[in-house]
Chain A
Amino acid sequence: MGKRRRSRALALLLERSRDRRESAGEFWALRHVSFTVERGETVGIIGRNGSGKSTLLRVIAGVYPPDEGKVSVQGEVSTLFSLGTGFNAELSGRDNIYLDGIMIGMTKTQIDGIIDGIIEFTELGDFIEMPVRTYSSGMRSRLGFAIAMNSDKDIVLIDEIMSAGDAAFRQKAEAEMNRIMGEKTVLLVSHAMGTIEKFASKVIWLDRGVIAAMGEPKEIIEQYLAASKVKKRPPDEY
């Protein structure tokens, strides 16, 4: 009896710590989100902070298994590139390119073949041998973006990394986006509506974990911007 009670107490302790962050009621980061993306399509995902955009990309990347519903991905997904994550800050940019490549299932020889192109694209010069922790956010996004564009994977997930670069890099990145458009399937999360409008053939607007609207980029962006205008909310929402 005593033993049994103890193990139950331990289980309870584990249960509690596991659920600590969700204990304030059930929270669904995403629910009832359903859409399809054609091969070669570029889909923009917009929405306020915390609306589930990054979570959606992670679900597609296979990082989070869905609690309900199904995700079916045909083709290989590259790493999800977002600012400041995924890199090992102590290692050089070069080592991180290898690590990232191996992570998404490339072999060392394959990476050897493309690494010069990636480094050239980043324009990081000698900084490529420096630890990533010394990089500015713009430099990190260059590195991430360069890897994303040069990997041989069919599906590219980009989480807000283009906006941190400077004007010159943005131009270059946009040219690169044009190059892979139609060839790769891209899911692009961004708060830069200009970028989304330029590249996306379809836009998904997420709001608190559900699709608020989906369709023609221009139309959806307009709706989103209109809804985002600061409105006076009823006091009970505060």
Chain B
Amino acid sequence: MIEQIKKVWQRRELLWYIVKLQMKAENKNKVLGFVWSFLDPLLLFLTYMILVHVIFGRGGPQFPVLLFIALLSWRWFASSLQRSVTSVTSKVGLIQSVRFPLAILPLSGIIIGFFDWLFGFAILVPMLFIFEASFTVNILWLPVLLLIEFVGTVGACLIVAVVGTYLSDLGNIIQFVIRICFYLSPILYSIEETVPERLRTLYLLGNPFAGLLESYKNVLILGIPPTEYVLVGTAVGCVAFLVGLWYFSRDEHKLVKSI
């Protein structure tokens, strides 16, 4: 498994190129091109703003910025997962031409997703000022939270990339699972307002994403340290990472033959 990490690290220039060229290819034929990187999160945000804030009249004064942070981080995870389902099968030509560590393929999707996160973050920064977020030293937790999310996402994506290659139906299943998880996570609502008090601990323990999203909100807006429930997400993330790495390494050579 360490071998796998080494192999990918040795080919990091290739990884970087695939990311760069993939982003280029995705934006090339669009009139607005690169602008979509900013428009996408904004439009997503506006949709849910109208739905929750305007139509249902929910959410406090800081709701917009809370929503935006949760959406950004969620989108990173969800889009990475979606990309990785077909990450292997969509690159048949490349895979059959030259030998390279296949883990680069799902990984490149995660990195592209992270760039999307960064573009979104550029919009978030002025929002933080507008909605008077309190900046404290706790903002230094942000890279740690991102790392936790990255590790977990890598694990999940490695598993999904393998299973998605064997089973094309996974694309449909994942779409559904992502939707369910979206509603189960504190993105459109805050835990305090929605989840009954006696279920709150259970909720935070049961949903690895809940603690992470709450922690993003804590460090960016409230200026307080992450909730202790982020440890649930960290543990689940690390386990997913190890399982994903093991599973992918075990099946890597079978993948080539099954496409």
- Residues of A that sit less than 8 Å from B by CB: 13-14, 17-18, 21, 58, 61-65, 79-82, 84-88, 90-91, 95, 98-99, 102-104, 107-108, 131
On whether the beta carbons of A104 and B98 are closer than 8 Å, the reply is yes
A interface: dominant SS? mixed
- Which residues of B sit under 8 angstroms from A104, Cβ to Cβ? 98
Query: How far is it, in angstroms, between the C-alpha of A84 and the C-alpha of B94 when the chains are bound?
Result: 10
On whether the beta carbons of B97 and A81 are closer than 8 Å, the reply is yes
On whether the beta carbons of B97 and A86 are closer than 8 Å, the reply is yes
On whether the beta carbons of B93 and A87 are closer than 8 Å, the reply is yes
- Contact of A84 (CB < 8 Å), options: B93, B95, B166: B93
- Known contacts: A14-B163, A80-B96, A98-B17. The answer to whether A91 contacts B254 by CB under 8 A is no
On whether the beta carbons of B28 and A86 are closer than 8 Å, the reply is no
On whether the beta carbons of A103 and B167 are closer than 8 Å, the reply is no
Query: How far is it, in angstroms, between the C-alpha of A64 and the C-alpha of B26 when the chains are bound?
Result: 30
- By Cβ-Cβ distance, the 7 closest A-B pairs, closest first, are A85-B93, A62-B99, A90-B25, A86-B97, A79-B98, A17-B167, A18-B166
State the Cβ distance, A155 to closest chain B Cβ, in Å.
Answer: 12
B interface: dominant SS? helix
- B50 interface residue per 8 A CB criterion: no
Query: How far is it, in angstroms, between the C-alpha of A131 and the C-alpha of B98 when the chains are bound?
Result: 21
On whether the beta carbons of A80 and B97 are closer than 8 Å, the reply is yes
- Known contacts: A14-B167, A64-B257. The answer to whether A85 contacts B17 by CB under 8 A is no
Provide a sorted-by-A list of 18 A–B residue pairs whose CB atoms are within 8 angstroms: A14-B163, A14-B166, A63-B96, A63-B98, A65-B253, A65-B256, A82-B97, A85-B92, A85-B94, A85-B96, A86-B94, A86-B97, A86-B98, A88-B25, A90-B29, A98-B21, A102-B13, A103-B14
State the Cβ distance, B123 to closest chain A Cβ, in Å.
Answer: 27
Query: How far is it, in angstroms, between the C-alpha of A21 and the C-alpha of B26 when the chains are bound?
Result: 32
- Contact of A131 (CB < 8 Å), options: B28, B96, B253: B28
- B100 interface residue per 8 A CB criterion: yes
- Which residues of B sit under 8 angstroms from A107, Cβ to Cβ? 13
Closest A residue to B251 by CB, please name it.
A18
Query: How far is it, in angstroms, between the C-alpha of A80 and the C-alpha of B97 when the chains are bound?
Result: 5
- Contact of B14 (CB < 8 Å), options: A21, A61, A82, A102: A102
- Which residues of B sit under 8 angstroms from A58, Cβ to Cβ? 96
On whether the beta carbons of A90 and B13 are closer than 8 Å, the reply is no
Query: How far is it, in angstroms, between the C-alpha of A107 and the C-alpha of B21 when the chains are bound?
Result: 16
